[in-house]
Amino acid sequence: MAIADVKEYTHLTDEEVEQIGRELDALRKEIEESRGASDAEYINRLIKIQRGLAFAGRVTLLLSNKKPAWALGASMLGIAKILENMEIGHNVMHGQWDWMNDPEIHSSNWEWDTAQPAEQWKHSHNYIHHQFTNVLGYDNDIGYGVLRMAREQRWSPYYLGQPIYNALLAGLFQWGVSLHDLDLERIRKGKKDPKEMKRQLKQIGRKIRGQIAKDYVVYPALSGPNWKTTMTANATANLMRNLWSYMIIFCGHFPDGAMHFTEEELEDETREEWYLRQILGAANFTGGPLLHILSGNLGFQIEHHIYPDLPSNRYPQIAERVQALCQKYDIPYTTGPLHRQYGQTLRTILKLSLPNHMTKDKNPTQPERSDTANTYEQDLRRKSDAERQPRRTELGGWSRGGKQRMHD
């Protein structure tokens, strides 16, 4: 059942909620004030490693006809793309490194190595997803317009094909993401401003041209007689990144325990309530430092959602404090090993491909919950920016660049 009031759901008093807000604000300030040379060194070193890997991968693939070189080059390139998309690009665009005042590592102009233009990503992710996290009808990441991930979404026979759509989305994740901000559902319903759509398509077109040319024309051409194997290696590297980022991202809000919310929660949502919704709507996974770097520190999805613009290398440290806070106030904190989190996600994908009456609701029903009983009638239409609440300050600081425009 979707939550309409986080305070009620967590059985917290007004004072407790306020206190939680104060403690989280204080933690934020603590981290902000302690940012310094070692953090700057972290991101600079990571960028150096990532670009070194990309360079090494490309050079190795000049000899892609040799199987070991093919495998080594594709792996290095795949890991480079994973690092760039997840730990570097996504985080830089959130403004996590803007504090350094370094225009070369800054949210205002970072363009990442994938088919989606940065400007559109910042709109659909930094704003829409992070502000309206897991709110039905507002968070377009619930199912990405392709999958049914909440029982409250009306079932139709289309969803019987969900396992296949899921597999396709996983393999072609980069392309799904590139179209995400266009909001295909609104286009289908004829609600999208055609001028805005044209502008976004042009922007996407330009980005895609560069990406496709790089991986499937320029580098194969440079490999001369090895062009075919370079192409397959590059495609494999892209596939590696697609599958890996799909899996990590799906583990962020789909495991059991990551709750959905109704529109009512958004009404007059205070800062503290926003914090609570972020904690309840996200799911972590456990692992060692290497896994966390390779997954963009999204194993700390909860911490990332509370503080989207604090440096990702600090999330492990922040997590200890957030966990303690949740224990103190008895707030559910969802985490588990990666395979279990993904397993639960996959099970939900399969389950919701069927109509509700054929499956059991995974979330314990709350007695006396008159507000969520009839959420099937909820208006789950896609919204436009004009219909959304404007950007909250809790999202933290990130900038548009000079050439980046407003959205519909």
Task: By CB under 8 A, name the binding residues for another protein.
Answer: 35-41, 48, 51-52, 55, 58, 95, 98-104, 106, 108, 111-113, 207, 210-211, 213-214, 218-219, 222, 390-393, 395, 397-400, 402-403, 406
Helix or strand run (H / E) with residue 138? none
Q: Which is nearer to another protein, 141 or 309 (CB)?
A: 309
Shortest Cβ 362–another protein spacing (Å): 36
Shortest Cβ 219–another protein spacing (Å): 7
Shortest Cβ 340–another protein spacing (Å): 36
131 vs 338: CA distance, rounded Å: 25
Shortest Cβ 92–another protein spacing (Å): 12
Q: Which is nearer to another protein, 95 or 252 (CB)?
A: 95
> Do the beta carbons of residue 162 and residue 137 sit within 8 Å?
no
User: C-alpha dihedral over 364, 129, 14, 368, to 10 degrees?
Assistant: -30
Q: Which is nearer to another protein, 8 or 102 (CB)?
A: 102
Q: Which is nearer to another protein, 106 or 186 (CB)?
A: 106
Shortest Cβ 56–another protein spacing (Å): 11
What lies within 8 Å, CB to CB, of 393 at 6+ separation is none
Tokens of 213: 């040319």
Cα distances (Å, whole numbers) of residue 392 to 20, 26, 126, 199, 287: 19, 19, 11, 26, 32
CA triple 50-205-107, angle to 5 deg: 45
Q: Closest Cα partner for 262 from 139, 383, 130?
A: 139
Q: Which is nearer to another protein, 365 or 393 (CB)?
A: 393
Q: Which is nearer to another protein, 296 or 396 (CB)?
A: 396
Shortest Cβ 178–another protein spacing (Å): 13
Q: Which is nearer to another protein, 207 or 305 (CB)?
A: 207
Q: Which is nearer to another protein, 270 or 363 (CB)?
A: 270
DSSP string, 64-113: TTSHHHHHHHHHHHHHHHHHIIIIIIIHHHTTTTGGG--TTS-TTT---S
Which amino acid is residue 392, in one-letter code?
Answer: R
Shortest Cβ 241–another protein spacing (Å): 15
Cα distances (Å, whole numbers) of residue 262 to 14, 93, 297, 370: 20, 28, 28, 13
Radius of gyration of the chain from Cα atoms? Answer: 21
> Do the beta carbons of residue 116 and residue 177 sit within 8 Å?
yes
Q: Closest Cα partner for 208 from 237, 175, 244, 170?
A: 175
Q: Which is nearer to another protein, 132 or 342 (CB)?
A: 132
Shortest Cβ 16–another protein spacing (Å): 27
> Do the beta carbons of residue 344 and residue 254 sit within 8 Å?
yes
Shortest Cβ 181–another protein spacing (Å): 15
Q: Which is nearer to another protein, 112 or 315 (CB)?
A: 112
Which amino acid is residue 329, in one-letter code?
Answer: Y
Tokens of 122: 């910042």
Sole residue written with tokens 């580098």: 219
Shortest Cβ 129–another protein spacing (Å): 16
Q: What is the DSSP letter of 297?
A: T
Q: What is the DSSP letter of 122?
A: I
